[in-house]
Amino acid sequence: MTIRTTRLSLIAALALISSVSMASAETMDKDSVYGTEGQVVRATNGTCVRTKWEAGQDKCATRQVARSIDEFTQEERTVYFKFNRSALTKDSMTRLNTLISALKADQSVREARIVGYADRIGSDAYNDQLSQKRAETVRDYLFAKGYSNARVTETRWVGEKEPSTNCPEEKNGASLISCLQNDRRVEVEVELQ
């Protein structure tokens, strides 16, 4: 290869890189990626695919509708825990984040009560402590995420005294643990004005 051919190849490569950079710069001026027909491109989880974040220019935000806290079902206000644990799961944190946003936005919330539960496996005293830890974990998470409103007036725990499951007594081991999953929970009760 001659020096002239090498120089021409180098110039062509630089021109190509320059044109790609200019195209990228044009794309970066937009906040969301658009399809060939002008529609916003969404990821499989429903969120917008973005080139960069531009506050106030979010095309996807116009499609999101804020929910009032009274539209949340009891299930949507409940988080579940693994057997013998009081740490939040990833799913629980996601659910609580949605709930916290609604609690912060809804001025009609008079009070939010946090109630911890445990399954029947273990002693009464142990389950009382475990349900207390679970309730305090959720309360602390609400506070850490900015819902430090004085309207969170009550955190209580009931241990195994109020089960939501009806598992047969003859179940044991892993099948009993699985059956009692819904008893390992914290509910956020909301009272509106």
Distance separating alpha carbons of residues 83 and 128, to the nearest angstrom: 14
pLDDT-based confidence at residue 20 (cuts at 50, 70, 90): very low
Fold for the domain defined by 68-192: 60s Ribosomal Protein L30; Chain: A; (3.30.1330)
| Nearest CA-CA partner of 138 in 93, 191, 75, 85 | 93
Q: Tell me: pLDDT of 89 over 50.
A: yes
Q: What is the residue-averaged pLDDT of the chain? A: 79
| Structure-token pair, residue 131 | 């349900």
In the predicted structure, residue 116 carries a pLDDT above the cut 90: yes
Domain with CATH 3.30.1330.60 in the chain: 68-192
> What pLDDT is recorded for position 177?
94
Please give the Cα distance from 106 to 150 (Å, whole number).
Answer: 14
DSSP sequence for 52-78: S--TT--TTGGG--PPPGGG--TGGGE
Any idea what the Cα angle at residue 40 is, between residues 36 and 45, rounded to 5°? 125
pLDDT at 86 over 50: yes
Give the DSSP letter of residue 47.
P
pTM above 0.75, yes or no: no
Q: Which residues touch 59 (CB under 8 Å, ≥6 apart)?
A: 31, 32, 40, 48
